[in-house]
């Protein structure tokens, strides 16, 4: 009797394929038993995988797989039956319980099982379980015959032969793992009575079982190792000092260097030096903005010459992949399946390099679905955090807390990079993470990177447009950065009237329009934008005009002008207006902005070696006011919050906490509603995504109050003017803290 796991694969074939993945994970994460304090962890994982699909031997499940019409539904969980086979194992009760829970939850967490499949205290649930259990009887002997493979497969995939099990002679011997193990585990969690299974031991069991099962199902039978020699990828004739130092740095470090000085290559050299012998440590490259993540993804795919090595994770990754793939693929369904495969593998333990936002890492520590696999993958991880200054105090505090957990509990190392990192932030990371190594340029080398002449212009931007027009008339390529979308729209309308080759860029463009704008950035005479321009784009203009902002934000804006000027001994002007709009206080701390303007009034040529002192003088008091409250609140409460996140249980309240971090709504302008719905009706979901844009919670609530929001299905449509050159036109900026 051949028992199937899938229509085209037997239980034995799928199990052995999952064990092939298991072998590669065991080799990549050899220190995991030591980290969780369970010497026999790999044995427990072997048995969890070996038995995980035995429940598919039920006759109803087999009938469903063989049904060519695909209409037959079994309406039960095979893992409820699979878990019972742990009764054959000769282990302490805790370990049998662990293996049973790993099996019973490998598709649905305990909360979901409690809702629909509990065998206690529900009499109906118990009756249904016993009824489904009887469906194993016709195939029971076949399942028992698989036990003879334990010795052979354990020797092949575990590395030594296992024989610590008894043969089962009767179905009465199968345990009810839900009642005997899963429910007690859940009640212990409710009562704060935690065992090792509620910690790293459970996380690794669940995370690696899922990884092996999912990859085997996707016909991937091993996880990929990283680049063997990073120096051969970037074959420089001579390394810069920071690159050479990074190549010689073992352990966590800070790297401070100007924009355009080769930080990316330096960070990858650092990751290479901190790899293990097999190059299997996972590398996570964290960036603050979607555009910079997309650009880095494309760059590394090209540099590594192997698209499988690099993964991409952010909220709009599907759309980016669709646009990249659709140029080469005509068939929409083939493209859609390819995107699903690429994204699926990027979420699993497969690719050795991932480019992502910090929020994709944070998710795991808020207990979102699949967090056990995420944390398991991050174990021994190498984390590169680029432009760490770009986050608000609340997010910075959260990042710091998860880095503490990863470094102290999961053997991770991190490289924290920025062109401008205030010393007070550096000290927060130093003190909390025990990082003492600093990689930076010496004064002489820094001076060579001097590229900018600073001018503070009295007044605000709207009263000084004639100065900007003068530069445009002289044929200079001009970059203008405003602090709010409304101000950027006003300035663009005024300046672009006589400039054909111009564009506006901010967060309130639909994806399709933003994409078109980003394609044109290298050839524009005038670009007006908001702070998204600071770190997200590799652009180079002749002159900058900026509204006032904190010094670290301005330094990033300066980096978009005369980007390679140090190569040509060229100095370019960067101009800052002394006044912004009255809405800027909702974005930046006014005190820091005022200090910045005052400091820059005393600067002429902005020598790179004085930037750190400027930054530190302005941030001498560290976080103040609301920023300090936000930072301290996370520090005070996160540890106790994270303690409630345990494996095998997805807590909906914790998930809600995570999604509340995103202070925005995804909406579609009302004028495109029919176009959007047409795409949905045609099944062209990625084209439909192109109509989305983001607005703040405050802006959404105001539109809602004015009856200008319509919910259709799960999509919000907003009745506000939209222009493909200007974006969504809202009458006024809203306080984002509403």
Residue 158: closest CA among 49, 13, 312, 12 = 49
The confidence score (pLDDT) of residue 738 equals: 30
Among residues of the chain, what percentage have pLDDT more than 90? 80
Three state DSSP letters for 660-710: CCCCEEEEEEHHHHHHHHHHHHCCCHHHHHCCCEEEEHHHHHHHHHCCCEE
Max alpha carbon distance in the chain (Å)?
Answer: 91
CATH 3.40.50.300 fits 230-441, yes or no: yes
**What CATH number should be reported for the domain whose range is 451-606?**
3.40.50.300
The confidence score (pLDDT) of residue 536 equals: 56
Q: DSSP secondary-structure letter at 258?
A: -
Over residues 134-146, the pLDDT tens digits come to 999 999 999 999 9
Over residues 354-394, the pLDDT tens digits come to 999 999 999 999 999 999 999 999 999 999 999 888 888 99
Fold assignment, 4-217: Hypothetical protein af1432 (1.10.3210)
Mean predicted confidence (pLDDT) in 13-41: 98
CA dist., res. 66 & res. 41, Å (int): 36
* For the chain, domain boundaries: 4-217, 230-441, 451-606, 663-729
For 424, the token pair is 């007070």
Q: Are 734 and 696 in contact (CB under 8 A)?
A: yes
Over residues 91-102, the pLDDT tens digits come to 999 999 999 999
Q: pLDDT-derived band of residue 737, with 50, 70 and 90 as boundaries?
A: very low
Query: How is the beta sheet containing 664-669 ordered, strand by strand?
Result: 693-696, 664-669, 715-718, 709-712
Q: For tokens 């212009």, name the residue.
A: 457
CA dist., res. 593 & res. 14, Å (int): 60
Residue 726: closest CA among 488, 483, 531, 463 = 488
Examine the pLDDT at 18 and tell me if it is beyond 80.
yes
Mean predicted confidence (pLDDT) in 632-658: 90
Over residues 249-279, the pLDDT tens digits come to 999 999 998 877 889 999 999 999 999 999 9
Examine the pLDDT at 453 and tell me if it is beyond 80.
yes
Examine the pLDDT at 656 and tell me if it is beyond 70.
yes
Query: How is the beta sheet containing 605-606 ordered, strand by strand?
Result: 502-505, 526-529, 478-481, 543-546, 572-577, 452-457, 605-606
For 52, the token pair is 């995980």
CA dist., res. 365 & res. 647, Å (int): 11
Whether 4-217 shares its CATH topology with 451-606 is answered no
For 661, the token pair is 């971090």
Residues comprising the chain, all counted: 738
For 413, the token pair is 């190392």
SS3 165: strand
Over residues 661-678, the pLDDT tens digits come to 777 899 999 999 999 999
């Amino acid at each position: 009797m051949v028992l199937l796991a899938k229509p085209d694969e037997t239980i034995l074939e799928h199990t052995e394929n999952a064990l092939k993945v298991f072998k590669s994970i065991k080799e990549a994460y050899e220190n995991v038993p030591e980290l969780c304090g369970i010497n026999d962890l790999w044995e427990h994982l072997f048995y969890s995988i070996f038995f995980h699909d035995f429940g598919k031997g039920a006759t109803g499940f087999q009938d469903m797989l063989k049904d060519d019409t695909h209409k037959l539904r079994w309406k039960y969980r095979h893992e409820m039956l699979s878990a019972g086979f742990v009764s054959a194992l000769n282990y302490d009760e805790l370990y049998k319980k662990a293996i049973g829970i790993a099996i019973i939850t490998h598709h649905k967490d305990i909360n979901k099982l409690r809702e629909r499949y509990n065998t206690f205290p529900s009499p109906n649930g118990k009756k249904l379980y016993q009824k489904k259990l009887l469906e194993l009887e016709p195939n029971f002997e076949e399942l028992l015959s698989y036990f003879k493979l334990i010795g052979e497969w354990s020797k092949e995939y575990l590395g030594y032969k296992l024989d610590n099990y008894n043969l089962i002679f009767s179905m009465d011997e199968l345990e009810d793992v839900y009642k005997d193990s899963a429910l007690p585990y859940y009640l212990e969690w409710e009562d704060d009575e935690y065992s090792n299974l509620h910690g790293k031991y459970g996380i690794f069991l669940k995370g690696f079982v899922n990884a092996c099962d999912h990859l085997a199902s996707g016909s991937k039978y091993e996880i990929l190792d990283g680049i063997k020699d990073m120096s051969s990828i970037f074959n420089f004739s001579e390394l810069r000092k920071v690159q050479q130092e990074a190549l010689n740095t073992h352990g966590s470090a800070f790297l401070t260097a100007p924009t355009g000085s080769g930080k990316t290559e330096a960070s990858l050299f650092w990751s290479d030096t901190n790899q293990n012998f097999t190059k299997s440590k996972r590398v996570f490259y964290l960036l603050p903005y979607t555009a910079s993540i997309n650009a880095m993804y494309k760059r590394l795919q090209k540099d590594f010459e192997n698209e499988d090595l690099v993964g991409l994770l952010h909220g709009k990754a599907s759309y980016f992949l669709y646009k990249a793939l659709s140029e080469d693929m005509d068939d929409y369904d083939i493209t859609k399946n390819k995107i699903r495969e690429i994204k699926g593998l990027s979420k699993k333990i497969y690719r050795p390099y991932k480019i992502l936002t910090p929020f994709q890492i944070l998710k795991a520590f808020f207990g979102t679905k699949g967090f056990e696999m995420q944390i398991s993958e991050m174990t021994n991880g190498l984390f590169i955090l680029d432009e760490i200054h770009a986050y608000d105090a609340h997010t910075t505090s959260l990042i710091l807390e998860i880095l503490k957990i990863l470094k102290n509990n999961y053997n991770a190392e991190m490289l924290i990079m920025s062109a401008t990192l205030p010393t007070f932030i550096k000290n927060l990371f130093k003190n909390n993470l025990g990082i003492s190594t600093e990689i930076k340029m010496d004064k002489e080398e820094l001076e060579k990177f001097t590229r900018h002449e600073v001018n503070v212009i009295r007044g605000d931007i709207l009263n000084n447009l004639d100065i900007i027009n003068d530069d445009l008339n002289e044929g200079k390529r001009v970059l203008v950065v405003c602090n709010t979308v409304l101000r950027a729209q006003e300035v663009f309308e005024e300046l672009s009237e006589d400039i054909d080759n111009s564009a506006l860029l901010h967060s309130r463009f639909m994806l399709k329009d933003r994409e078109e704008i980003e394609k044109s950035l290298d050839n524009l005479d005038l670009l007006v934008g908001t702070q998204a321009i600071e770190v997200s784009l590799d652009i180079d203009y002749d002159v900058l005009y900026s509204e006032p902002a904190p010094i670290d934000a301005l330094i990033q804006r300066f980096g978009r002008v005369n980007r390679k000027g140090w190569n040509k001994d060229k100095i370019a002007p960067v101009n800052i207006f002394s006044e912004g709009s009255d809405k800027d206080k909702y974005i930046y701390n006014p005190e820091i902005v005022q200090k910045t303007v005052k400091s820059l009034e005393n600067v002429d040529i902005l020598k790179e070696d004085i930037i750190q002192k400027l930054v530190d003088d302005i941030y001498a008091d560290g976080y103040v006011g609301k920023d300090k409250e936000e930072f301290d609140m996370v520090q005070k409460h996160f540890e106790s919050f994270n303690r409630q996140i345990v494996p095998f249980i997805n807590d909906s309240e914790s998930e809600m906490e995570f999604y509340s971090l995103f202070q925005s709504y995804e909406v579609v302008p009302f004028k495109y509603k029919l176009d959007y719905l047409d795409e949905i009706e045609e099944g062209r979901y990625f084209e439909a995504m192109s109509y989305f844009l983001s607005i703040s919670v405050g802006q959404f609530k105001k539109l809602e109050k004015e009856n200008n929001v319509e919910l259709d299905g799960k999509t919000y449509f907003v009745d506000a003017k939209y222009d493909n050159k200007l974006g969504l036109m809202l009458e006024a900026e809203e306080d984002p803290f509403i």
